[in-house]
Amino acid sequence: MTIRAEKDGIVWPSRFRPGVAPVHVRNELDMAAAPSRVFATLIAAPHWPDWYPNAKNVEMLDGGARLEAGARFRWTTFGVRIISEVKEFSPNERIAWDGRAFGVDVYHAWLIRPSARGAYVVTEETQHGGIARLAAALMPGRMSKFHQLWLEALEKRSREPAGK
């Protein structure tokens, strides 16, 4: 069962709703970049390692070059090799994927809204699993810190000339 979050528009699978999942992080940034540029940068997953140091070895499993509805990809983040599948895809507005690895089961959502500055972007993640709970307990704030870096790097990359 999937439900819609209260006010921010993120659609959460019931199991991953904030307040239900043991690990939850939310970050947001009002970016000086157009929503379409932010989205285009975000869905070019194989290029994440070029500008976001916590993403490594991103590999599209279905042969595509960009994320789209149902796309599967394998990547390394926080030192963990994860297989993800895009579960929600609405161009220039939202994207969400799940992710699985030993001891970690995640749902990561992005929401992009037009703002006076350009794009107001929310990234929110919830997690289940023993490794996820242990990492959150031993390194509190780590995921929030890296997600904020991801947002800041996304803004910077989205402001670069197209094709760079």
* Contact in structure between 14 and 3 (CB atoms under 8 Å): yes
Q: pTM score, two decimals?
A: 0.91
Helix (H) / strand (E) containing 141:
none
Q: Establish if 30 belongs to a structural domain.
A: yes
Count the domains in the chain: 1
Which segments within 8-142 are labelled E, that is strand? 11-13, 23-31, 55-60, 72-77, 80-90, 94-101, 104-114, 119-128
Q: Which domain holds residue 10?
A: 2-159
In a domain, 164, yes or no: no
Phi, psi of 63, deg, nearest 5: 85, -5
Does residue 98 belong to any structural domain of this protein?
Answer: yes
pLDDT tens across 124-136, in order?
A: 999 998 888 787 7
| Digit-coded pLDDT (tens) for 23-54 | 999 999 999 999 999 999 999 999 999 999 99
Cβ burial of 116 (10 Å; 0-12, 13-18, 19+) is: exposed
Nearest to 131 by CA among 104, 105, 150: 104
**Is residue 73 assigned to a domain?**
yes
Match 């963990």 to its residue by tokens.
Answer: 80
Q: Which helix (H) or strand (E) element contains residue 4?
A: strand 2-4
Nearest to 10 by CA among 78, 85, 108, 135: 108
Going by the DSSP 8-state scheme, the letter that residue 75 receives in this structure is E
Look at residue 164 in the predicted model and tell me its pLDDT: 55
Could you read off the pLDDT of 78-117 as tens digits, one per residue?
889 999 999 999 999 999 999 999 989 999 999 999 999 9
CATH number of the domain at 32, please: 3.30.530.20
